[in-house]
Structure 1
């Protein structure tokens, strides 16, 4: 096979579907691929027929021109697929298996991987710890918003679904296991959410909604979601969350109206570096969410920070923001003995347990994030609508595998 239809970053505000090379078990030169990686052989890898691949808010940062992503970079790090070819060193994954792909690529051999820190693998990116598919500065691995994709270190990375027929029936929910469900879950776990806790999630995009659903799964007494977008707040209320409209300012006051006190036990930043100040028509202020969460989290509480922060932001509001240097009230967090957890979610720490929760009907994640299926060729429209604030999690369907599939 020679052709492979894929979604590529074109320029700020634009993506296009183009034909790229069919993946092989060797890294080829191309947009975003570091010279050190070219020619890297992946006898330990597999080729997947992509059954579902999702548009992520992290992709949107690149498409907005808020990173140094090169033209032609094939996007997509949320991948679910069927194995159609396996490398000679793969032992435990077979052709025909339907699998979820963690967005963070890990070798399984380095110190960090052996300690379960698969988001910062030391061997899959020549530039820095950690790698991901189709993402700027993350190792040059080709993205999965495509008909076919290559996955390295398959025996270690892939989560195989136990029943092919059931996997296809529940594919719309299972596709969330590659990133946003574990990421949202990691956010609330690292914030200390549990039975009877009160939880505030900043941001009602897909990751924030996944975090809210995760807090409910963990037994939180009250889950509050804050956002500027009325449609996204309505989506949070659709599965039992309380909401705060941050365009009205005064987050603590609104939380006090709900809880009777202005603080919560656990807080999650699902916004990241493109945060805006609170209030109507507020300007961008990238430290807003972090500072707000320190103010409204009780002393001794914790902040989970799955929202993306970057070291290079060409569109930053000032020189500090352009280098990822934010004016954070660390003194406040120190005075309240807060704990902070940042960085990529180590997907493999959670994805099997969350798969079981889906398969046994304990959580309805596709409904929570309003999963919306579109064709691969419709990806430019999906990116545009998502950028305009649509309260949907767009799922691309390159081969029609999602025809007739509904959330469980």
Structure 2
């Protein structure tokens, strides 16, 4: 088997040691009160720093951006300090780490955002979506999301300013760059996808209008920290958290063209990854390649062989392996040598202690 997965690659000013990405995964271990990244999280990321690139779990850009209990923020001095522990630990292991900036929009509950009503592109409730709240025990309590209110123009300006400040905070915390979370049914996705956006102003209706919020947020991020430190994650074909688009191929090739115009450093595509999900059409991957000229990352149901194939076929430059990284801190090493992969315990994914976070061993031959 060729070893393209283990070739170095340039990403802006960085040279990544391999093409294995640890993508963002919510683990809900931030210290309370204050949603602060901590030593335990620093250990977790440092253990996995043999990835060419690590993207942090989603970190909320403001108090009302938060969707789930115990997720970290990046808008207070304490939170910046907490993340600095993480970035220093990863850099000590010669790793590179981007912060994923997150606003969930309507995918939350007032209990998670100080009793406020959630905001979204439109006053449309996400159907059959649950989030978890702190119910006073260390087991998360799942509750239905509520109806959001449609964002006003001044809400939109405020959120763009929050993203911009969060990017500056991430750089201050020592991150090598940021990934804008525009996937999986969260706020930016709620503007992009036709069935989640019924606005009749310049942020709704036509495809160009639905992409305007993404365009303006990315412009603010690039202006704040430079295009070579800004990546964006999209999920063209997933219908997670209730966002659906009527013409996803058309919508997301147009989104890729918008991002190309800003010269962002990478585009990260989350493919549908449940077991019997349809594969992303190869024709669509070729179309994305044509629209977007930067580094392309794909994540979802990859093994070493499929990853090699995607890179050799020129469809991807880097490949994200999500769940395998949970129980295999030394995943690149295991992929390189064909060592068996450990299985994670699904009961310890969200919330809790060191168990199921930093107690998975490296492989001993």
Q: TM-score, normalised by structure 2?
A: 0.30
Which structure is higher in helix share? 2
Which protein has the larger Cα radius of gyration, Structure 1 or Structure 2?
1
Q: TM-score, normalised by structure 1?
A: 0.28
